[in-house]
Chains A and B, each alone.
Chain A
Amino acid sequence: MNVFLHELKSYRKSTIIWSISMAALIIFFLSMYPSFSSSVSLVKKILEGYPEPIRKAFGISIDDITKFLGFYSYVFSFVVLGGAIQSMNYGISTISKEIKLKTADFLMTKPISRNEILTSKLLASLTSIVITDIIYLVTAYITAESVTKELFNIKLFFMVSVTLFFVEVIFMSIGVLISAVVGKIKSMISLSLGVVFTFYIIGMFQATLNDKAMKYITPFKYFDTEYIIKNSSYDITFVIISILIVLISIFLSYVFFLKRDIHVV
């Protein structure tokens, strides 16, 4: 419990900053919706003049993007990017922070097992992420309600928004695994950004090319908002993949961390 509280405290500042940034981001983007939706009725007219196959080639049905939820999911992808960076940072710092700051000696000579240490730290990261997500969700909902004149499906809105948390958990567990395997990381932020942006760019690439196979590579595409809006459910294949990734990463992190030698600095 003490390790959990200590970790939570050490994440406090970062949790506040991330919560504020993500809330600000969504307010900023959603407030553009009114002007966006007016320009978009024009698109609709243009598109209606074209035959169905061409419209399909866009990958997104035009009805979807012009509605609020379509716009929201576009904007939401940046929120997810932010959340992924935050959770990757937490994940990577789980073990590497102690080694880099050379505090591992202090912590690990205390009467506490490595299992307990890792569990407390994971729970602390998770708590910080959940706090950020709740703040984001409330802000997003209030903003959405105030900028839209039309009605939107609240259930779908939440189904889309919660995927933020799912993606974050995936990235956090990948991060923990990296830190358990690598141990001492010179520049944690570079590594974390490198990993997140690699996946993000693969995701953008995938969207542009509409390549099905690439979807499996990047967690950013596991919870496809378009699919969710269309089917009011998550794609079960990717749900299973996500769960597997998280479970395997966390399991391996415990294995590696338990066996790791903590060297003299």
Chain B
Amino acid sequence: MNIYLRELKANGKSLFIWCIIMIAFVAASMGKYAASSYISGQSLNDIISKMPDAVKSMFGAGTFDLSKAIGFYGAMFIYIVLMAAIHASMIGANIISKEEDDKTAEFLMSKPVSRINVITSKLLASFTNIAIFNIVTLLSSLFLVNYYSKGENVTDDILKLVIGMFILQMIFMSIGIGLSALFKNSKLASPVTVGVMLVTYVLSLAIDIDSNLSGLKYLTPFKYFDAKNLMNGKGFEIIYIVISALIVILCIGGTFVFYQKRDLKI
């Protein structure tokens, strides 16, 4: 419990900044929506919808109906997801490895706590951070999108998007934590996790450009909960949920196994 609280406190400031950024971002996008000329953009949407995926993705907006508040929000959601992925990767990669990095591992591990206990507390703390991050994003999105929408029901779509984002964060957090338990050199955890995140992000963009690559979509979590699919009726696909669960379970299980056996570098 004390480790859990200590971790929450240690991450408090950074979580606070992240939450502010998320609220500001949602507010800025929706404010932009109100001021933009997309409200009369129906004809553009017609054209876009006829285009091949490759070209659509280059326009960024894709298949969203930008004249509606929720459509606009959906188009902006990829940025929110990208920020969420960075947040989760950093938390996951840092939460264990920082003890060795800051040379506090000696202090912590000489206390009467088992490593399992340490990891469990740290996992819970990361989870709490992510949960708060999501709740803040969800509430600010619900409030702001509702404010600008003209009476349509936006709650369902936003809920779907944020749940997708939450699972994505869980994936990157567990990859980060798993890698930091696996690597002997604690300094490698952050750069490699970020590398994984960037590679999968770029891959998701590449899949948009070249439809021949669509078979690779299982390799990038950014494709698991695509805002377009979630909003345009497809909803959650069971296969992606299964893959996500597998990744999270494998990584976290691996964390316990590797970290138990590892020599701490002091």
Interface residues of A (CB under 8 A from B): 21, 25, 28-29, 32, 35-36, 39-40, 42-43, 46-47, 50, 54, 57-58, 65, 74, 78, 82, 85, 186-187, 189-190, 193-194, 197-198, 201, 204-205, 207-209, 211
**Which listed residue (B36, B43, B202) contacts A209, Cβ 8 A?**
B36
The reply to whether B86 and A194 contact each other, CB–CB distance below 8 Å, is yes
Contact, CB under 8 Å: B90 / A204: no
CB-nearest residue of chain B to A190: B90
A43–B83 touching, CB < 8 Å: no
Residues of B close to A43: CB separation below 8 A:
51-52, 55
Cβ of B194 within 8 Å of any chain A Cβ, yes or no, is yes
Task: Report yes or no: B55 in contact with A65, Cβ–Cβ below 8 A.
Answer: yes
List residues of chain B with CB within 8 A of the CB of A204: 60, 79
- For this complex, 21 residue pairs linking A to B, each with C-beta atoms less than 8 Å apart, are A32-B212, A32-B213, A39-B52, A40-B55, A46-B47, A54-B44, A54-B47, A58-B59, A65-B55, A187-B98, A189-B194, A190-B94, A193-B90, A201-B25, A201-B79, A201-B83, A205-B79, A207-B60, A208-B61, A208-B75, A209-B36
Q: Which of B195, B198, B210 contacts A36 (CB 8 A)?
A: B210
Residues in A with CB closer than 8 Å to B76 are 205, 208
A32 to B202 Cα, complex, angstroms: 13
- Docked CA distance A204–B79 (Å): 8
Residues of chain B whose beta carbon lies under 8 Å from any beta carbon of chain A = 14, 21, 25, 28-29, 32, 36, 43-44, 47, 50-52, 54-55, 58-61, 75-76, 79, 82-83, 86, 90, 94, 98, 102, 190-191, 194-195, 198, 202, 205-206, 209-213
What does DSSP make chain A's interface, helix, strand, loop or mixed? Answer: helix
A25, B202: Cβ atoms closer than 8 Å: yes
A189, B190: Cβ atoms closer than 8 Å: yes
B interface majority secondary structure: helix
Residues of A within 8 A of B32 (CB): 205, 209, 211
Whether B98 and A197, one on each chain, are in contact in the complex, defined by CB atoms closer than 8 angstroms, is no
How far is B51's CA from A43's CA once the two chains are assembled, in angstroms? 6
Closest residue to B78 on the A side, CB-wise? A204
Q: How many A-B residue pairs have CB under 8 A?
A: 86
In the bound complex, CA of A205 to CA of B83 (Å): 13
A190–B14 Cα distance when bound, in Å, is 10
A47 to B48, CA, bound (A): 10
Interfacial chain A residues near B83, Cβ < 8 Å: 197, 201
Indicate whether A205 sits within 8 Å of B29 (C-beta atoms), given known contacts A42-B52, A78-B202, A190-B190: yes
Q: Is the CB of B58 within 8 A of A197?
A: no
- Shortest Cβ distance from residue B21 to the other chain A in the assembled complex, whole angstroms: 8
| Interfacial chain A residues near B59, Cβ < 8 Å | 58
The answer to whether A187 and B190 touch across the interface, beta carbons within 8 angstroms, is yes
Give the complex CA separation of A208 and B36 in angstroms. 11
Chain A residues positioned under 8 Å from B213 (CB to CB): 32
Q: In the complex the two chains form, what is the Cα distance from A21 to B90 in whole Å?
A: 21
Please name the residue on chain B nearest to A54 by beta carbon: B43
* Chain A residues within 8 Å of B29, by CB: 205
- Whether the pair B86, A193 counts as a contact (CB closer than 8 A) is yes
- Inter-subunit contact A187/B94 (CB<8 Å): yes
Contact B75 A197 (CB under 8 A): no
Which residue on B lies nearest to A210, using beta carbons? B36
- In angstroms, Cα B142 to Cα A27, docked, is 42
The CA-CA distance from A204 to B75 in the complex, in Å, is: 11
A74 to B59: give the CA distance in the assembly, Å.
Answer: 10
Set of chain B residues within 8 Å of A46, measured between Cβ atoms: 47, 50-51
Shortest distance in angstroms between B88's beta carbon and chain A's nearest beta carbon? Answer: 12
A42 to B54, CA, bound (A): 11
Q: Which B residues lie within 8 Å of A50 (CB)?
A: 47
Known: A187-B98, A201-B83. A39 touches B202 (CB 8 A): no
In whole Å, how far is B221's beta carbon from the nearest beta carbon of chain A?
17
Asked if B82 and A197 make an inter-chain contact with CB atoms under 8 angstroms apart, the answer reads: yes
How far does the Cβ of B238 sit from chain A's closest Cβ, in whole Å? 30
Contacts of A207 in B (CB 8 A): 60
The interface residues of chain A lying within 8 Å CB-to-CB of B102 are 186
Known interface pairs A28-B206, A58-B59, A189-B194; 4 further A-B residue pairs with C-beta atoms within 8 A, sorted by A's residue number: A190-B14, A190-B190, A197-B83, A208-B61
| Distance between Cα atoms of A211 and B28 in the complex (Å) | 13
The 3 lowest CB-CB distance pairs between A and B, nearest first, are A32-B210, A39-B52, A189-B190
Q: Are A74 and B58 in contact (CB under 8 A)?
A: yes
Nearest CB in chain A: distance from B155 CB, A: 24
A146 to chain B, nearest CB (A): 17
- B194 / chain A contacts, CB cutoff of 8 Å: 189, 193
| A217 CB to nearest chain B CB (Å) | 12
The answer for the CA separation of A201 and B26 in the assembled complex, in Å, is: 12
Closest residue of chain A to B213 (Cβ to Cβ) is A32
